[in-house]
Amino acid sequence: MQFKYPELLWALLLLVIPIIIHLFQLRKFKKTPFTNVKLLKKVVSESRKSSSIKKWLVLFTRMGIITALVLAFAQPFKADSIALKEKEHVFYLDNSFSMQTKLQGSTLLQNTVQDLIKNIPEEQRFTLFTNNKVYSDVNLQDIRNELLQLPASTNQLTIEEILLAAETYFKKEPGISKNSVLISDFQSNMGPVPMENGTETSIHFIKPKLSPSLNIAIDSVYLSTIESDIVELTAELSSNDDIETTAVSLYDGDKLIAKTAAKFNQNKKATVRFSIASSASIIGKVVVSDNGLSYDDQFYFNIDTPEKLKVLCVGTADMDYLSKIFTEPEFSFSTSSLAQLNYGAINNYNLIILNELKSIPTGLTTAIKSYTDTGGNIILIPASDIDITSYNQLSKYYSNTLYNSKINTEIAVSNVVFDHPVYKNVFEKRVANFQYPKVNSYFTMRTTSPTVLGLQNGAPFLTGLENAYFFSASLSPENSNFKNSPLIVPTLYNMGINSLKLPQLYSTLGEPTTVEIPISLSKDNILTLVKGRETFIPQQRLLPKKVSLTFNENPTTDGTFSIENNGVPLRNISFNYNRTESELSYLSLENVAESQMHQNVPSFFEASKKKNSIDEFWKWFAILAVLFVLLETLFQRVLK
């Protein structure tokens, strides 16, 4: 038993007073002579015994009154040690898309918010954070409206990230009982639950029960050419449960242009195809309908009028293979000899190929350097016999690349760096048994830029990144069979396509995306993104012939946005949510202690209330004091 005011127990010393009164009777008795009769002597003897019992009972009741009153004012109670500590709660509320599971006219997130509002005490201060917001040291009244309107987040934290974040929100004060409360459906991609958190924080998991629901997701779309004037749009779908078919619709803006049925296979996958005119410009959307998550029921894309990339090949060496790679409608391919090159027109091209020049004049070096500084792109293919000094005057500006001695040895090009941006989305898997090309001679190189293709001995065959690429060997038929290799088309084509980063069919929200718009703007002008009433200014870099736009944290909603200059649309760009939450697979949390697991928010608060309850006994002692008073009164009146 513990006392709220233990210092009042000193009042128990007052028990000495009734004891003293009992031991030293202050009352004086007057002697009265009486007839010496035997019967009266017996009566006097019995009265004395009765009086002695009465005095002892009165003493007991008076001591009981004092003891009960003192204990009542000291307020005794019984409680666990944790119940006496100051408590601090940090709540994590998962607002990722998986919490949008539909439940009887509402969503799991909406139900959870309602439970929080009903169960958190109005006066309690706490910290609550979601995947994208933090409400620090607030009470329910401060954030009630924001919780009711809490939107879904594209970001999903892992359990480890949640626990680390929660620790940073606790006060750095000793003696406080810290409680991290995680409210989520705990999808499998949130990672495992740490067995030990290494802190004194109590961790609680609230995982609401979910009824199984069918969820169909549109995973991706892509284009393929089937005829010169027709392209095929393919949409890939997946389901988390067995289903035979579902309707799939294709929209251009708000206009329905096609509808078909998707048939799912045993792997719960489906593919649908739509035919579109190759010249069509579409603000597209593929749509399905289900009772599961809603965020993955539509997939946005856009097909704009293609922007031709201007490629200039400088040199007189064989360039037929280049003209076959850089073809219409993606490219506009031009050639020029070194003698006839117009240096002033260089900036009009997106990509310049220096094709096996024996030497590079100083004027061309200066022009190329200025060209790449303003966003231009180059590919340098050396001749078999070059002026190394003139080459290095140009190459040294790009990752300190330098050509060295020539090696006359036949060697295979056997190292493909599949992770290089040049080969992004080229290979479905890493190829091991590839028929690699070879070279008869090459130049050794020193560079800090990454290798794209490497020789068998580890030396680079093609190196570079972003706007400058350098071959180490001539591509002439006498020196190499690289022109006949399957590698040459995706390598050069992607370097050409990347020379101007045009909007793709779609981009994924949260992933870094760069788009270049071929337009010259003054320093006072900026490009904006517009979707309906939503407008924002993306991060942008102004170059002489183009504007580079970078998207990372914005936008935060899916859809097709118009890139505009002072209200004039230039191009469209489409964004979609990541589909990682569409699988609807969940952690079992079997290793979590039963005391840490809760089925819903009310059960957590009920268990917390029991654990932190304090049993007070002062009322019982007050009642006991009244009983002693009644007993004393009874003894005084009944006993003679």
Contact 546, 519 (CB under 8 A): yes
222 and 184 in one domain?
no
Which of residues 628 and 516 earns the better pLDDT score?
516
CATH code: domain of residue 120: 3.40.50.410
**Highest mean pLDDT: which range of 42-46, 147-151, 417-421:** 147-151
> Which of 306, 329, 364 is where one domain is finished?
306
In a shared domain, residues 450 and 397: yes
Tell me if 449 is assigned to some domain: yes
pLDDT for position 581: 87
Phi, psi of 630 (to 5 degrees): -65, -40
Please check whether residue 444 is in contact with residue 404, taking contact to mean a CB–CB distance below 8 angstroms.
yes
Last-in-domain residue among 239, 272, 306: 306
DSSP 464-516: EETTEEEESS--STTTB-GGGSTTHHHHHHHHHHTTS----S-EETTS-EEEE
Instruction: Please give the distance of CA 498 from its chain centroid, rounded to a whole number.
Output: 29
Query: What residues are paired with 284 via a beta bridge?
Result: 252, 301
CATH number for position 250: 2.60.40.10
* Helical axes 38-74 vs 618-638, angle rounded to 10°: 170
Q: Judge if 343 and 400 occupy the same domain.
A: yes
Tens digit of pLDDT for each residue in 581-605? 888 888 888 778 777 788 888 888 8
476 in Cβ contact with 318 (< 8 Å) = yes
Judged against a pLDDT cut of 70, whether residue 338 lies above it is answered with yes
Cis preceding linkage at 329, omega within 30? yes
Give mean pLDDT, residues 82-101. Answer: 80
**What is each CA distance from 139 to 128, 135, 524, in whole angstroms?**
10, 9, 45
Furthest CA-CA distance within the chain: 162
pLDDT band at 26 (very low <50, low <70, confident <90, very high): very low
Q: What is the pLDDT of residues 373-413, one digit of tens each?
A: 888 899 999 999 999 999 999 999 999 999 999 999 999 99
**Cβ atoms of residues 509 and 538 within 8 Å:** no
Whether 559 and 605 share a structural domain: no
| 1, pLDDT greater than 90 | no
- The CATH number assigned to the domain holding 565 equals 2.60.40
Residue 462: other Cβ atoms inside 10 A = 26
Length of the chain: 640
Residue among 454, 307, 464, 462 nearest 377 (CA) = 464
Is 274 in the same domain as 330? Answer: no
pLDDT at position 77 over 70: no
Q: How far apart are CA 25 and CA 426, in angstroms?
A: 111
Higher pLDDT pick, 352 / 622: 352
Number of domains in the chain: 5
Which tokens in the block code for residue 305?
């009028």
pLDDT at 129 over 90: yes
The domain of 523 spans: 507-576
E-assigned strands of 347-459?
351-355, 377-381, 402-407, 411-416, 438-439, 442-446, 451-455
- pLDDT tens per residue, range 180-219: 889 998 888 888 887 666 567 888 898 888 777 788 999 9
560 and 473 housed in the same domain: no
Average pLDDT, the chain: 83
What pLDDT is attached to residue 541?
87
pLDDT digits (tens, 9 = 90+) for 224-266: 766 657 888 999 999 988 888 999 999 999 999 999 999 999 8
Task: Compute the average pLDDT of residues 616-633.
Answer: 75
384/392 Cα distance (integer angstroms): 15
Domain contains 33: yes
Compute the C-alpha angle 72/75/77, nearest 5°.
Answer: 125
Is 349 found in the same domain as 294?
Answer: no
Q: To which residue do tokens 């065959």 refer?
A: 461
Q: List beta partners, residue 572.
A: 562
According to the model, what pLDDT value does residue 93 have? 92
pLDDT tens digits along 557-566: 999 999 999 8
- Residue-wise pLDDT for 256-289, tens only, equals 999 999 999 988 999 999 998 877 789 999 999 8
pLDDT at 264: 92
Is 285 found in the same domain as 274? yes
Q: What per-residue confidence (pLDDT) applies to 226? A: 65
pLDDT at 469: 94
Q: Say if residue 26 is in the same domain as residue 170.
A: no
pLDDT one-digit tens code per residue, 431-475: 555 678 999 999 999 999 999 999 999 999 999 987 899 999 999
CATH number at residue 327: 3.40.50.880
* 581, part of any domain: no
Asked if residue 49 belongs to a domain, the reply is: yes
Does 68 lie in the same domain as 56?
Answer: yes
Q: Which helix (H) or strand (E) holds 634?
A: helix 618-638
443: in domain:
yes
Q: Specify whether 405 is located in the same domain as 314.
A: yes
Give per-residue pLDDT as tens, 354-366: 999 999 999 999 9
Is 502 among the domain residues? no
- The pLDDT of residue 575 is 94
Cα–Cα distance for residue pair 582/569, rounded to 1 Å: 34
The Cα 300–Cα 505 span in angstroms is 9
Whole-number Å distance between alpha carbons of 104 and 211: 11
User: 97 in the Ramachandran plot: left (φ > 0), alpha (ψ -120 to 50) or beta?
Assistant: alpha
Predicted local confidence at residue 304, as pLDDT: 82
Secondary structure of 278-344 in the HEC alphabet? CCCCEEEEEECCCCCCCCCCEEEEEECCCCCEEEEEECCCCCHHHHHHCCCCCEEEEEECCCCCCHH
What is the reported pLDDT for 102? Answer: 81
Same domain? For 261 and 287 the reply is: yes
Q: Structure pTM?
A: 0.68
